[in-house]
Amino acid sequence: MTDPFGFIDLPVRQVITDIVNWIVATFRDFSRTYISPPVRGVMNGVQWGLSSVPPGAFILATFVLGWWAASWRVGVFSVIAFALIGFMGVWDQMIITLSLVVTAVFFCVLIGLPLGILSSRSDRFYGFMRPVLDIMQTTPPFVYLVPAVMLFSIGNVPGLIATIVFAMPPVIRLTNLGIRHVNPEFIEAAVAFGSTKRQILWKVQFPLAMPTIMAGLNQTIMLALSMVVIAAIIGAGGLGLEVYAGLERLNIGQAFVGGIGIVLLAMVLDRITQGLGEKAPGVRDRD
Amino acid sequence: MIRAENVTKIFGSDPESAIPLLEENKTKEEIRELTGQTVGVNKASFDIQQGEVFAIMGLSGCGKSTLIRCINRIIDPTAGHIFFKHPDRGEVDITQLDEEALRTLRKQNMSMVFQHFALLPHRTVLSNVGYGMEIQGRGRRKRQEAAQRVLDMVGLGPWGRSYPSELSGGMQQRVGLARGLATDAEVLLMDEPFSALDPLIKVDMQQELTRIQRELHRTILFITHDLDEAMRIGDHIAIMEDGKIVQIGSPEQILVNPRTEYVAKFVEHADPTGVITAGTIALPLDSDKFVSAGERDGISYLHRQDLPHVRYGMDREGRLHDVQMDEQDVPVRRLEEVLEDESARPASSERTGLALTCGEDAVLRDILRSRLYSTLPVAVTNGDGRVRGLIDDPELINGILEKRGEIP
Ligand SMILES: Nc1ncnc2c1ncn2[C@@H]1O[C@H](COP(=O)(O)OP(=O)(O)OP(=O)(O)O)[C@@H](O)[C@H]1O
Ligand SMILES: [Mg+2]
């Protein structure tokens, strides 16, 4: 049988390679001078802060946070989870992973929130954002790693960049959604008292959208955690590296310890941010 | 203060297409069938004086909310003009204002009370009431003090720190009212502000509004679907049907002289005792039911045909000089002062020992009550004291049952 597609050969591979090469050649210097330093700076700061807290105090703090944000159950669960992580001997790796997540989420919110607000206020801008968000979310996470390495070399920074890109869409989407779904009645009331567009945004729309935005933030944190683990392949440290190194050396025990640590961390982060979301102002109305 | 000229609002994809049909006097239903557009308001015109309460009433869906929203342009009218006598800038056409001027107008000159309250759920009651002042840029302390004062006024003083969702519907409505009152705007747009209140609080709030109004002299556009409420607090009433204003007048004009079948239906079950006035129902002196009883010392006497032993003496100018019963002088007092004097109430059998006079604007209810003091016909006098006519039982009964004086 002859190949039915043989008579045309779309040079997609070549074109993509050329494009990526061009992007890398053009932006490498820019990325390394202007993007890497702030990301690395925040990462180092967060990591320094988190690792300088004594584990005992850290665990106590998560207990209080869990209790305050959600319930005493969540507080107790946090204590058990972090104690386990410590006793399994991956405390330092956990701190690195947490720092990576915090840093990535920080940039996701910093960039995603304004984009979400912009999307909610302009249909045209949202029309442009939508396909971009779709691409960002459906591209397999591994695909981000290649250009990240090419632009930023290896280590924590390319891992973080890939994570930020991968984890940002929920913040944008749900900020947009939350603001658009505020009951028009409330906006009408604000308008009737002479509020400006900006006053309406900050005094009415944003607080009322807060529960939805927090749901987006929760998703972003979970995505960031999953990506930070994958980023171990390109040299990011932490629990992901533990898993990756364990698999590479066929040390199943080591890989499992890393994996359990990730799951525990994910559960604690999820419960706490969900609790925060329900505490958010505006939530009182949604009964 | 506010003058609307042919304000029209058409909802739909192509509002302009319905305008010519309105000119042909097609009904809302016909226009809907022909063009698919919904007529919200159909060429509404009215003139609201400074300091008055102008009530708009009509059935559900007749366009009341749409019309009131056109006034502060939360809804942009499809056609027509709305003129507002601005305290500093003279007459402005609200339909021509740009964004900025419109915002200033809403902030400083017009506030609004919503039918469905529209309280901000993430703010406490106090901060909801203070919202308008916050937008006006007043300081936090001043704002809170003022908000607390207004909250006290609507009877919710202790609830400032609660959230709207913790209040009953009626309480939320009062918070909405407080928010509207708090900004000191000259014009208050109120969309069924009392509809969610139970009957007792409703009457309380109506009296409270009347009291506030006596003090503050706001110009109030008040929407209701309750004719009795409209009559109680409205200086003028506009009645709407299918987007159109079918009649505008004082409560009494509407009650006594309903212009269409639709208005008549409304009026049928309204309570006339607080609306209809002595001037309307009095049997006029020039009626052939009066018989002259001669003249003495320049005073001419007459009596009702059916009541020869009660005689009313009038001087040359037509002022009441004396009242006689069985040729005996009877003391004469003003109805208003007698009503305030419980001790003047005689025993049932002695209610012919006193004669009363009242002004043309005395309402039926007061005249009815005065029957506890005197059963003689009440003499109705106009501004300069001349007798206009008499009210006896037939006039009272006709007034209540037929909403007019004499049956022709
Ligand atoms: N946003 C809108 N889009 C389309 N049609 C509308 C809209 N708002 C109102 N209408 C229509 O306009 C007409 C008048 O509605 P409006 O809300 O002004 O009535 P209303 O007199 O305030 O009634 P109610 O006493 O029930 O509050 C109705 O036929 C309604 O269907
Ligand atoms: Mg309405």
Say which CATH number the domain at A155 has.
1.10.3720.10
- Estimate to the nearest angstrom the gap between the alpha carbon of A81 and the chain centroid: 21
At residue A143 the predicted structure's pLDDT band, cuts being 50, 70 and 90, is: confident
Query: Does B61 contact ligand 1 (Cβ within 6 A)?
Result: yes
Looking at the CA of B44, which ligand is closest? 1
Does an H or E element contain A192, and which?
helix A184-192
What's residue B272's pLDDT? 87
- pLDDT of A13 reads 86
Query: Ligand 1 within 6 A of B38 CB?
Result: yes
- Contact at 8 Å (CB) between B38 and B11? yes
Parent domain of A99: 13-283
Ligand 1: which of B66, B221, B240 to mutate, most ligand atoms within 8 Å of CB? B66
Provide the b/e sequence for A11-35 (b: ≥16 CB within 10 Å): eeeeeeeeeeeeeeeeeeeebeeeb
Ligand lying nearest the CA atom of residue B66: 1
Q: Average pLDDT for residues B362-390, to the nearest whole number?
A: 89
Q: How close B252 comes to chain A (CA, Å)?
A: 33
Distance of residue B397 Cα from the nearest chain A Cα, in angstroms:
47
pLDDT at A286 over 80: no
Residue of chain B minimizing CA distance to A200? B135
With a cut of 60, say whether residue A282 has pLDDT above it: no
Cβ-proximal residues to A164 (8 Å cutoff; 6+ apart), any chain: A39, A104, A107, A108, A111, A224
Sheet holding B38-48, edge to edge: B38-48, B2-11, B79-86, B90-93
Q: List residues bridging with A132 in a β-sheet.
A: none
How many angstroms separate the CA of residue A187 from the nearest CA in chain B? 9
C-beta atoms surrounding B331 within 10 Å? 11
Looking at residues A122-132, what average pLDDT do you find?
A: 93
The answer to whether the CB of A268 falls within 8 A of the CB of A66 is yes
Cβ B377 vs Cβ B310: under 8 Å: yes
Rounded to 5 degrees, φ, ψ at B51 are 85, 5
Q: Is B374 in the pocket of ligand 1 (CB under 6 A)?
A: no
Q: Residue B406: its pLDDT value, please?
A: 55
**A28-42, A107-121, A187-201: range with lowest mean pLDDT:** A28-42
Cβ–Cβ < 8 Å for B260, B247: yes
User: What's the rounded mean pLDDT across residues A109-129?
Assistant: 94
CA distance to partner chain B, nearest, from residue A186 (Å): 5
- Provide the total of helices (H) and of strands (E) in chain A, helices listed first: 14, 0
Query: In this structure, are residues B51 and B218 in contact, taking their beta carbons and an 8 Å threshold?
Result: yes
Query: A interface toward B at CB cutoff 8 Å?
Result: 185-186, 188-196, 199, 203-204, 207-208, 210, 281-282, 284-285, 287
Q: Which of A83-92, A120-129, A278-287, B163-172 has the lowest mean pLDDT?
A: A278-287
C-beta atoms surrounding B208 within 10 Å: 16
Residue A230 has pLDDT above 90, yes or no: no
> Contact, B6 vs B79, CB < 8 A?
yes
B66 CA: nearest ligand 1 atom? 18
Total tally of structural domains belonging to chain A: 1
From CA B274, how far away is CA B209, in angstroms rounded?
A: 17
Q: What percent of chain B stands above pLDDT 90?
A: 42
pLDDT tens per residue, range A241-255: 888 888 888 888 888
Task: Please tell me the predicted confidence (pLDDT) of residue B80.
Answer: 92
Q: Is the CB of B64 under 6 A from ligand 1?
A: yes
Inter-CA distances, A222 with A270, B93, B355, Å: 7, 55, 90
Q: What is the pLDDT of residue B119?
A: 94
Kindly state if the Cβ of B9 falls inside 6 Å of ligand 1.
no
Taking a C-beta distance cutoff of 8 angstroms, is the pair A259, A94 a contact? no
CB contact under 8 A, B183 and A284: no
The residue type of B38 is T
Which strands sit side by side in the sheet containing B290-296, from one edge to the other? B290-296, B299-304, B310-314, B320-325, B328-330
CA of B120 to the centre of ligand 2 (A): 19
- pLDDT of residue B407 exceeding 60, the answer is no
Chain B's closest residue to A196, CA to CA, is: B103
User: Nearest ligand to the C-alpha of residue B224?
Assistant: 1
Do B107 and A193 count as a contact with CB atoms less than 8 A apart? yes
Position A287 scores a pLDDT of 30
Q: What residues have CB less than 8 Å from B258, skipping those under 6 apart?
A: B247, B264, B266, B267
pLDDT over 80 at B403, yes or no: no
Determine the Cα–Cα distance for residues A136 and B326; give it in Å rounded to an integer.
105
Angle at A176 between CA A175 and CA A181, to 5 degrees: 100
- Predicted pLDDT at A59: 92
Quick check: CB of B69 below 6 Å from ligand 1? no
| Average pLDDT score, chain B | 89
Q: Report how far ligand 1's centroid is from the alpha carbon of B61 (Å).
A: 5
The β-bridge partners of B284 are B389
What per-residue confidence (pLDDT) applies to A16?
84
Q: Is the pLDDT of residue B111 over 90?
A: yes
* Domain boundary assignment for chain B: 2-109+185-270, 279-404
Q: Minimal CA–CA distance to B312: which of B374, B282, B350, B356?
A: B356
Res. A283: pLDDT tops 60: no
For residue A10, pLDDT over 70 is answered with yes
Residue whose CA lies nearest to ligand 1 atom number 2: B11
- Summarize pLDDT for A165-190 with one digit per residue, the tens: 999 999 999 999 999 999 999 999 99
Check residue A203 and give its pLDDT. 92
The answer to whether residue A8 is domain-embedded is: no
Does residue A1 register a pLDDT over 70?
no
Is the confidence at residue A285, as pLDDT, over 80?
A: no
Residue nearest atom 5 in ligand 1 by C-alpha distance? B11
Average pLDDT for chain A:
88
A16-39: average pLDDT? 85
**8 Å CB contact of A192 and B72:** yes
Structural contact between residues A208 and A282, judged by C-beta atoms closer than 8 angstroms? yes
Q: Of how many residues is chain A composed?
A: 287
Which of B29, B64, B225, B240 for mutating ligand 1's site (highest number of atoms within 8 Å of CB)?
B64
User: How does residue B70 score in pLDDT terms, banded at 50, 70 and 90?
Assistant: very high
Comparing CB atoms, the residue among A185, A193, A196 nearest residue B111 is A193
Contact list, B167 vs chain A (CB under 8 Å):
none
- Assign B246 to helix, strand or coil: strand
Cα of first residue to Cα of last residue in chain A, in angstroms, is 65
B40 lines ligand 1 (CB under 6 A): yes
Considering only the C-alpha atoms of chain A, give the largest distance between any 2 of them, rounded to a whole number of Å: 76
Out of B108, B118, B165, name the one closest to residue A284 (CB).
B165
At B132, the amino acid letter reads: G
Name the least confident of A126-130, B369-373, B382-386.
Answer: B382-386
Which residues are within 8 A (CB) of A179 and not within 5 positions of it... i.e. 6 or more apart?
A116, A117, A120, A121, A201, A205, A206, A209
Q: Which of B7, B38, B76 to mutate to test the pocket of ligand 1 (most atoms within 8 A of CB)?
A: B38
| Residue B78 Cβ contacting ligand 1 at under 6 Å | no
Whose structure tokens read 């708009």? B56
Contact B274, B282 (CB under 8 A): no
- Whether residue A192 is predicted with pLDDT greater than 80 in this model: the reply is yes
Q: 10 Å Cβ neighbour count for B287?
A: 14
| Buried-exposed string B122-157: b where 16+ CB fall within 10 A, e elsewhere | bbbbbbbbbbbbbbbebeeeebbebbbebbebbebe
Neighbouring-strand partners of residue B188: B111, B220
pTM: 0.82
Pair B278, B263: CB distance under 8 Å: no
Least CA distance to B69: which residue of chain A? A192
Are the CB atoms for A32 and A152 separated by under 8 Å?
Answer: yes
What pLDDT digit, counting tens, does each position of B114-123 carry? 988 899 999 9
pLDDT tens, position by position, B240-294: 998 999 999 999 999 888 899 989 888 888 888 888 899 888 988 888 888 888 8
The pair of three-digit structure tokens given for residue A123, joined into one six-digit string? 């249909």
Say which CATH class B279-404 falls into: alpha beta
Q: Which of A188, A193, A196 sits opposite B131 (nearest CB)?
A: A193
Q: Kindly report the CATH class assigned to B2-109+185-270.
A: alpha beta
CB contact under 8 A, A284 and B118: no
What percent of the residues of chain A are helix, what percent strand, and what percent coil, each to the nearest 5?
85, 0, 15
Residue B217 phi/psi, 5° resolution? 50, 45
